[in-house]
Chains A and B, each alone.
Chain A
Amino acid sequence: MKPAPFEYVRPSSRAEAVAALATHGDDGKAIAGGQSLVAAMNFRLARPAVLVDLNGATDLDYLRPEGGKLRIGALTRHAAFHRPVVEGPLGVLLARVVRNIAHYPIRQRGTFTGSLAHADPASEWCLVSRTLGAEMVIANTGGERVCAAADFFRGTFTTAVGTEDLLAEARLPLLGPNWRSGFFEFSRRAGDFALAMSLAALEIEGGVIRAARLGVGGVADRPLRLEALEAQLVGQAPSAALFAGMGEAARDLITPTEDIHASADYRRDLIRTVVNRALTQAAS
């Protein structure tokens, strides 16, 4: 239960961090909050030879709306979202979701982009990013590129971030004033990993759904956005029957993973329920 030996470097800027990751290549591993990484290192499931600690790179510590997006720097902790960080529906949505991430002390240290880079299938921020169509800013010594959420998540613990890359920022679209959100997660104990969860965002005007975002997490090797169902929601009036039907449709669309915690059938049942409850909360 003690980590294997490693070298420790502490760059003092984003540029230095990118340079350090390039220098160490496959041996190097970026650490921000470390709330998943250090646990894995203590179990020796992860044995990085060099740890590149981002905590000294203060130019990665920012969180600001700009150009219709919320820009989240790589040192933004989960706890920053406990209260709405921007006016309007996005801040409310993030504050609603963050309470489901692990526990209060973990949220003091863990980071938003760290969760994305770790890409646990049960990660709330991965679901938020996929469902809302986030953009990820990936930096290396050659410059930076922007990766859409649809291309970012490649499977369990696997993303578009390469060994010499730094996930420097995530950008979430600010939602207009008519958007509302709902989130529902099922886990067996407070703070446990989600067995299934759903995020819904609806733009409702004049009693009609004008636009919709709907995603499900914790049920596959990556977060799923249900665009086919989003299209079916548009133009409809919110109702209990509509949302119950969406829950059933989501259940029939997804072939869930099976593990020691839940069978595929059980997760199928959960999908129906979490989708219905997320949509119902969004419309209430």
Chain B
Amino acid sequence: MADKRAVTLNVNGKDYRITVEPRRTLADALRDDCGLTGTHIGCEHGVCGACTVLVDNRPVRSCLMFAVQAEGRNVRTVEGLANGEELHPLQKAFWEKHGLQCGFCTPGFLMLATGILEAEPDISDEDLRDVLSSNLCRCTGYQNIIKAVRAAASEMRACQPSASL
């Protein structure tokens, strides 16, 4: 048994001091040690994308990363999207376009879409479909997810004309 070690995770701008074994995945650490259960765990081998979070603003599978590797990095989860009571444009669009049914895959899709739209606000529809193919929705609500992300992309472009790459 490897010794536990103290790790500080910065999640959504807040520091969480946790004590974990090196084998603790970032996904498990977020849920069980930081109490941030918005990040969902599906397949645990990088296929389904339910656990997608942003690490230094890039979408990654948090089941394929260890919590110790995230020390000193900037982690963002679905809990950090809304501004108080005001939903993020992506969250609003998922609601309005019926982009979720059971909701299990939704946090992963939201973080994937946040990552790609912040990096490439003018992404083509074809490339967006390709990126969204990264995650699985077992309710098979893909068309409405694509519609929702497209709608949010327009709104985010309107709000942030000079998005950073």
Contact = CB atoms under 8 A, between A and B. Distances in A.
B65 A105 contact: no
Contacts of B46: 35, 38-39, 106
Given A39-B64, A104-B130, A104-B131, 6 more contacts: A2-B44, A5-B23, A51-B22, A106-B46, A109-B61, A109-B64
B69 interface: yes
Contact of A104 (B2, B28, B64, B112): B112
Interface residues of B, number: 30
A5 B22 CA distance: 7
A34 B64 contact: yes
A203 interface: no
Interface of A: 1-8, 10, 34-35, 38-39, 41-43, 51, 53, 55, 79, 99, 103-106, 108-109, 189-191
Contacts of A51: 22, 66
Given A1-B44, A6-B23, A105-B49, A38 B1 contact: no
Nearest to A3: B23
B4 to A, nearest CB: 11
A106 B134 CA distance: 9
B98 to A, nearest CB: 23
A109 B60 CA distance: 7
A191 B135 CA distance: 10
B68 interface: yes
A42 B44 contact: yes
B142 to A, nearest CB: 11
Contacts of B101: none
B130 A190 contact: yes
